[in-house]
Chain A
């Protein structure tokens, strides 16, 4: 039996629908990320799960209890907000102890529990400081410790890392992941950073305009994006408009491409999608299909690889983004204007129905 069940959850603000018919089950101990662009309703969905907002429609069941209309104080969860919302006039220790009162715990038990959490997040030396005296990353960990102190069954994180700089984010997201594994607490994290979601989540829920676009493991989401929106939002994707010419063959702008047309019929308008890193540049002899030669029009240096835009030559008016490892760039002396031969492996090309016609 799943730990959390959402059934057709809808939240309206007046005439505006912020969350639209979301159904979802989350297993105990799972780490789920809500991913989507700004304003797509991630925070609203999270607040609905916590009871800080009540759904306009639908049902929420947590640990076998129907909690749909239950106020937050009667539910079982801990939450960390983007702003951390640490109480500025209480020390780190008092902040963490805040949720341990009102439970009949002895003073010494509370202190012991706080020590435990301080150790868990590695802030023993900072216990007597005030939040304003801590760095952003430290504040974030205090907020996490405070939310975890009462041992909640569900941990909700609303963009917990977005206020931090890149290095700290990278480090902290691993720490959150490890912590979650160790404690086994079911966790939902909201983020609009696809990389963050891919690296920490067991499953990702991609949202757009209040609706679920796709739910799946990071690998599923990345490799088999269900819609062009997901494909575009998670990673980078080349989109090419075309038409199914025959089973296994598509035509676009004078090019003919081999690809898997499985569920499409002849003549269907389609969008072909391929990721820049899936374009094959080496051992081309072993990839006879979809081989083209074109010119490098642009090159963006991105550190470990160079993202080049190719076109003209055999591509004609079509433009493609291709990721070239840095050693290959050096080897072939790639630069704007040089020619490049590459192949588009048929099994890496995804087809979507062309909505725009």
Chain B
């Protein structure tokens, strides 16, 4: 049989050429995105931590025009001394610090002065600020009385290590380092054994209700880390039902921080250890049994070593989460200072951006180290995973199963208890004094924090993050994995994609202030918009999404692109027709991950929201700060229900999509 149907040659022209430029353009765009939204802000932050600001009133000379003649009025420093004026309220000056001249020179001294001459004697200039105009070195401003009242003194800037010296010389600041390390270590030591026991029960026992317990373990992922703090305050605070259990210790402080941190880090540790335990090889256990090893010996020689990389990885993930979290210490920390909270206090409370930058740099160290160790450990774990093994089937053992059930029950009670407490507090008029049912705590519009608008802003922000983030992350991962050539660009991109995981949210947020809230930056128009919240949140959660996408793509045949190319089809057709449909489950996973995290995150966005873009999670923070704890709990629970709904929708969607487009999975 000869060929009957003639096949014309492919249109080699535009579509295919465009293909090459499209991929190149895209990879450049995505690298640019990560550079602008991550690398440059961090570089700016580092630079800012070395900028030292100091008021130099001795470098400002004054002259008054009074009674028809100019009189020398000395240096500004003389006025400061004479009045005993405290510059910047005694705080360290930072780049935003300003002093009004009329506050330093009292009104009675200015009586009868018609005009003022103020001279900037500094070598660098810029000490004087009048309506946005800065003085040149040696420049003299001649001012009317009205103008003089608007004149401000700026601190002089130079580069040096003074900020760091100051930081380490101030016990109140320095002690946060040990506090943070202590809290993070203690939480890790508590959470890891519990998570291990819980995962062990789910994989190695025949206890009932495993599905229920697995769901419960994942609940904390769906709420902001502020919520367990609030729940603990209700349970163990001054009027708490369970306060006696603390034997007189105060929940505000390290105890509360550790208890709440354990709550919100538990699912992360649990998931990693669960994966590590579920890849166990039954053949190893059979071999050990045939050698007559005792159960205890099997546990120490087979079970633990098999899961060791998972345990290491989980430990460092928990450590990083705790040390970078600021929601928990904000709510239950009391006077106990930790690094992440210091950044917030320095920037929001004292407007001291320079020290905020120093604390950020200090916080980057443990986070980066923990990140590196975690990456190494999880790479090993993956290697274990690829060696296919016979899955282990646990056998019923009555006593052991009951014991495990009891243990999981306790953990579940703790998790659900905190959540239910929050819900009850939100629904009663005034826990624990007035236990009548009311919805007044949901009347957010009457509280601080932005009202119901913040809730809808959050939903909008999370939706954009999920939508745009998933598109960027997945396409980026596709290019890294599947495109030939462009080697250097792909390497650079890979590195950039791993960086966000090592950068705490607070640090990211502060670096955005420095980078975007700078009139000289052409991108400064983004500051205070919804866009910057979406941009920062995508970057903040980039790494995990990227790794999910890469894992899914690695499971695709490496030759698909080559085949498609040999058939003269443009890359985007391959991408939309095959790659995306096949990877749809992973894509939905990424989307829900981004959505849930965007709903709950506080750390980066707390520096970036504006009055038009307040967020639900930040509202929880602000209402709690203002003493409206019940409404804060109510808003936190709204976030929880929203995330539950989003998860349900995702599950249903995934099922529908699977049924429609993935018929090929069935044999």
List CB contacts (< 8 Å) of A157-208 with chain B.
182-183
A116 CA to B6 CA, complexed, in Å: 11
* Residue B90 CB within 8 A of the other chain: no
A102 to B10 CA separation, bound complex (whole angstroms): 6
A72 at the interface (CB under 8 A from B): yes
Q: A99 in the interface, Cβ–Cβ < 8 Å?
A: yes
A87, B577: Cβ atoms under 8 Å? yes
Beta-carbon contacts under 8 Å, B1-54 to A: 1-5, 7-12, 15-16, 19-20
The stretch that binds A, out of B102-110, B325-333, B378-386, B561-569, is B561-569
| A105, B1: Cβ atoms closer than 8 Å | no
Determine whether A146 belongs to the interface, using a CB cutoff of 8 Å to chain B: yes
Residue B559 interfacial (CB < 8 Å): yes
Decide if B422 is an interface residue (CB 8 Å cutoff): no
Q: Indicate whether A210 reaches chain B with its CB closer than 8 angstroms.
A: no
Structural contact, B557 and A85, CB atoms closer than 8 A? yes
The docked-state distance in angstroms from the alpha carbon of A89 to that of B666 is 11
B664 within 8 A of A: yes
A87 near B8 (CB under 8 angstroms)?
no
| Known contacts A88-B664, A113-B7; A102/B563 CB under 8 A | no
Residues of chain A lying within 8 A (CB to CB) of residue B664: 88-90, 130-133
| Any A CB within 8 A of the CB of B578 | yes
Interface membership of B560, Cβ < 8 A: yes
Q: Considering the chains assembled together, what is the distance between the CA atoms of A99 and B20 in angstroms?
A: 18
Across-interface contacts of A112 in B (CB, < 8 A): 4-5
Give the CA-CA distance A99 to B564 in the complex, in Å: 7
B83 on the interface (CB 8 Å rule)?
Answer: no
Chain B min CB distance to A10 (Å): 19
- Which single residue of chain B is at the shortest CB-CB distance from A113? B5
Chain B residues with Cβ under 8 A from A149's Cβ? 7, 567
User: Nearest chain-A residue to B580 (Cβ)?
Assistant: A89
CB of B573 closer than 8 Å to a CB of A: yes
Smallest CB separation, B565 vs chain A (Å): 5
Within 8 Å of chain B (Cβ to Cβ): is A238? Answer: no
- Chain B residue with the shortest CB-CB distance to A149: B7
Do the beta carbons of A120 and B1 come within 8 Å of each other? yes
Is the C-beta of B570 less than 8 angstroms from some C-beta in chain A?
Answer: yes
CA distance A77 to B562 in the complex (A): 12
Assuming A73-B565, A99-B569, is B662 touching A150 (CB within 8 A)? no
- Give the contacts of B356-380 with A (CB-CB under 8 A): none
> Which residues of chain B from 538 to 576 have a CB within 8 Å of any chain A CB?
557, 559-560, 562-570, 573
> Does B484 have its Cβ within 8 Å of any Cβ on chain A?
yes
Residue in A89, A100, A112, A183 whose Cβ sees the most chain B Cβ within 10 Å? A89
Q: Does A101 contact B (CB under 8 A)?
A: yes
**A: interface residue count bin:** 35 or more
- How does the 8 Å CB contact mask read for A137-151 relative to B, with 1 for contact and 0 for none? 000000000110111
A183 to B3 Cα, complex, angstroms: 8
CA gap between A185 and B11 in the complex, in Å: 22
Separation of A112 and B7 alpha carbons in the complex (Å): 11
Contact B15 A102 (CB under 8 A): yes
Is B582 in contact with chain A by the CB < 8 A criterion? yes
**C-alpha spacing A98/B559, complex, angstroms:** 15
Answer yes or no: B111 CB below 8 A from chain A CBs: no
Contact of B565 with A72 in the complex, beta carbons under 8 Å? yes
Tell yes or no: A261 within 8 A of B by CB.
Answer: no
- Report the bound CA distance from A73 to B17 in whole Å: 10
Q: Are B567 and A150 in touch, CB under 8 angstroms?
A: yes
Cβ of A253 within 8 Å of any chain B Cβ, yes or no, is: no
- B562 and A102 within 8 A (CB): no
Which of A72, A87, A104 is within 8 Å of B11, CB to CB? A104
B4 to A79, Cβ gap below 8 A? no
B133 within 8 A of A: no
Which of B1, B7, B562, B578 lies in contact with A72, CB distance below 8 A? B562
The chain B residue with its CB closest to the CB of A77 is: B566
A119 sits at the interface (CB 8 A):
yes
Q: How far is the CA of A183 from the CA of B566 in the complex (A)?
A: 19
Say yes or no: B557 contacts A147, CB within 8 Å.
no
Tell me the residues in window 614-667 of chain B with beta carbons closer than 8 Å to chain A beta carbons.
661-667
Cβ-based interface call for A56 (8 A): no
B581 at interface by CB-CB < 8 Å: yes
A219 interface hit (Cβ, 8 Å): no
Please state if A78 and B11 are interface contacts (CB–CB under 8 Å): no
Q: How far is the CB of A150 from chain B (nearest CB, A)?
A: 5
- List, sorted by A's number, 25 A–B pairs whose CB atoms are closer than 8 Å: A72-B562, A73-B19, A73-B565, A73-B566, A74-B16, A83-B557, A85-B559, A88-B578, A88-B664, A89-B581, A99-B568, A99-B569, A101-B569, A102-B570, A103-B9, A103-B10, A104-B8, A112-B4, A116-B4, A116-B5, A119-B1, A132-B664, A132-B666, A150-B10, A151-B7
Interface on A for B, CB 8 Å cutoff?
A: 50, 52, 71-74, 77-79, 81, 83, 85, 87-90, 98-105, 109, 112-113, 116, 119-120, 130-133, 146-147, 149-151, 182-183
The 10 closest A-B CB pairs, nearest first, are: A99-B567, A130-B664, A85-B559, A113-B5, A81-B559, A72-B565, A85-B557, A87-B578, A151-B7, A79-B566
Q: Which positions in B face A, CB cutoff 8 Å?
A: 1-5, 7-12, 15-16, 19-20, 484, 557, 559-560, 562-570, 573, 577-578, 581-582, 661-667
